[in-house]
Amino acid sequence: MFLERHGNQYRVVVNVPKELHGKLGTKLKRSLGTDSLKEANRLKWDVIADLKATIAHAENPSLSLETARYISREQAMQQAVRFAEQRKSAFDPERRDEIDEEIDWQAESLAGKPIATDEEGHEVFDPERLRLAKDFSRSARGDRTPIDLHHEKFLAASHVKARTLADDKRAIKLLKDWCSKAGVPPYLQVMTKKEAVRFCDELPSLTANLTPVTLNKYVSRLSVYWTWLENRHEVDSNIWQGRRLREPRQTTDQKERPFTDEEVKTLLKGPAEPAMDDLMRIAALSGARLDAIVCLKVKDCRDDGVFVFKPQKKEPGPRLCPIHPDLVEIVERRKKGKGPEDDIFPEWPGVKKSDSLRERSFKTSNEFTAYRRSVGVEDRREGKRRGLVNFHSFRRWFITKAEQAGQPESTIAVVVGHKRQGMTFGVYSGGPLLEQARRCVEAVRLPA
C-alpha cells in the first residue's frame, strides 16, 4: 500500500485529486531511503500523513499543515475497515502477520509521539490520539467494531424517504448517547440482547416529550440496521427483534376517527378558499392521503378518468384510482390551459429549502387545520397531543362509506393503497379490474 520501488530503494506514492493536478501534479512522491520492504512499511505512515496533509492544505489553504496532518477519526476507521476485510480474506498465516504488522505501524502513527513522561519514566501520549489508535487497532483486527462504522454504507443502500433516513441517523445517535451515559462500550461485539433491553428501558429518560410510538420508530430503525448487519455477517443476530416500548392502551373513544357526515357537511359548506374546497372533495371521494393529492400533476389526471397517485408509505409504485364523477369538473377546471408537468394544486408549491425533510403538503396541512377549527370541527381528549380528527379523517370516512356500501374489503384496500390480507388476495391475485375499483369509488357519495 502506497509503496513503489524506485531504483534500489522504496518510495511513498500518493495520488492527487484531479482538481489539484494543476497545482500539485498527478502524484506526490517521497523516497524512504531504504531497500528493505519491511523497513519501508514501518516508515511509510508518517510520510503518507505528511503528503496527505499537503493535499488537504492545497484544498483548504486556511488549514494549517499541522492540523491537516492529523488523520481524522473517520478516515482512520475507514482504513481500519479495509484492514479488517484484508485480514478476513488472508488465509495464509504469513500474510496475516504482515497485515497485523501494518496495523501496528499505523496505530503507532495515529498515537503520535509522546507528549510527556510520568514520574515513573513512562511515556505519556495525547489521550484523544491514543484512544483513536486503540480503536483503530481493535477495529482493524475485527475485535471491536464501532456500532456506527457501517451505518453510512447501510444508509446508502437504503431505498427510503429522507425523513426515514433522518430517523435512522437519530436512532443511531440515541444509541451512542445511551452507551456513553450507561458506560457501555459502543461496539457491535459488546451489544447483546441484554443491552438492547436496557436501552429500551432507559430510552424514555434520554428523550424529552417523545411518545412511546415515536421511540418505537427509532427502535424499529435500529432493528432494520441490525438485520442488514446480520445479513453481512457483521453480527450474529438481530438483538432488536421483538423489542418495543409498551404503548398506552387506547380506548375506542381515544383513537383518531373518521369524520361524521355532519362534520363533512360542515367542512364542505363552510367559507373555504376554492383550492381548499377542491382539495377536501378529492380527499373525500378518493380516500387518498394529503401529500399524494397535493403532488398531483396534470399528467397524473388521465383522460381515461384515472388518478395516478405517487407511492406513499410502503407502496411499491404509483397507484391508480378512478376519478369519481363528482370530481370530473374540478379536475378539468384545474387542468385547463396547463402542460403535463404543471401542478394541479400550484397554490401549495411546497418548502423552498432543498434539504428540508418536510413533505410538500406541510403548509397545506396547517392551513386545513386552521380552517377546520374555524368552522368548529374539533375533537380533543385530555392528555392527547393530537385531536381525534385531522385531514386523514377524510380517508377514514371514505373507507367507512365504501364498506357501508357493501364493497369488498380487498377492493377497498387496493383503491386506498392498503396491503391486502391473506394468501389469496395478498399474493396470487393481480389486483381487481379497474372497473371493480370504479364501482367501489362511485359507491361513495358526499352527504346531501
Pairing of strands 123-124, 116-117: antiparallel
Least confident of 51-55, 282-286, 382-386: 382-386
State residue 45's pLDDT score: 77
* Domain annotation for the chain: domains and CATH numbers: 3-63 (no CATH), 66-141 (no CATH), 150-231 (no CATH), 257-443 (1.10.443.10)
pLDDT of residue 423: 45
- Most confident by average pLDDT, 54-68, 124-138, 366-380: 366-380
Residue among 431, 442, 430, 364 at smallest CA distance from 401: 442
| Residue whose C-alpha cell reads 352527504 in the numeric block | 447
Q: In what order do the strands lie in the sheet with 9-15?
A: 3-6, 9-15, 27-31
Summarize pLDDT for 264-318 with one digit per residue, the tens: 999 999 999 999 999 999 999 999 999 999 999 999 999 999 999 998 776 667 8
Question: CA-CA distances (angstroms) from residue 386 to 194, 380, 390?
Answer: 34, 7, 9
**Exposed, middle or buried by CB within 10 Å (0-12, 13-18, 19+), for 138?**
buried
Q: What is the mean pLDDT of residues 391-395?
A: 95
Minimum mean pLDDT range among 19-23, 68-72, 117-121, 287-291: 68-72
Residue range 235-255: mean pLDDT, rounded: 79
Strand order, beta sheet including 301-302: 301-302, 306-309, 319-322
Pick the closest to residue 368 from 343, 398, 393 (CA basis).
Answer: 393
What is the secondary structure of 72-132 as a DSSP string? PHHHHHHHHHHHHHHHHH--SHHHHHHHHHHHHHHHHHHH-S--EE-TTS-EE--HHHHHH
- Yes or no: say if 281 and 327 are a contact pair by the CB < 8 Å rule: yes
**What CA–CA distance (Å, rounded) separates 130 from 112?**
8
Q: What percent of the chain has pLDDT over 90?
A: 51
Cβ neighbours of residue 352 closer than 8 Å, sequence gap 6 or more:
none
- Cell triple for residue 432? 381487481
Extract the C-alpha cell encoding 377.
370541527
Residues 146-181: tens digit of each pLDDT? 899 889 999 999 888 888 999 999 999 999 999 999
385-396 average pLDDT score = 90
Residue 315, pLDDT score: 66
Q: How confident is the model at residue 391 (pLDDT cuts 50, 70, 90)?
A: very high
Higher pLDDT, 110 or 231: 231
Highest mean pLDDT among 277-281, 349-353, 355-359: 277-281
pLDDT class of 426 with cuts at 50, 70, 90: very low
Query: Considering only 71-75, 106-110, 357-361, 393-397, which range has the smallest mean pLDDT?
Result: 71-75
Instruction: State the amino acid at position 410 in one-letter form.
Output: S
Q: Which residues contact 264 (CB under 8 A, 6 or more apart)?
A: 284, 394, 397, 446, 447
Average pLDDT score over the chain: 87
3-state secondary structure of 15: strand
Report the C-alpha gap between 44 and 363 in whole angstroms. 57
Q: How far apart are CA 446 and CA 296, in angstroms?
A: 22
Half-sphere exposure of 431 (CA within 13 A, CB side): 14
pLDDT score, position 163? 84
Count the alpha carbons within 13 Å of 202 in the hemisphere toward its beta carbon.
14
- pTM, two decimals, is 0.60
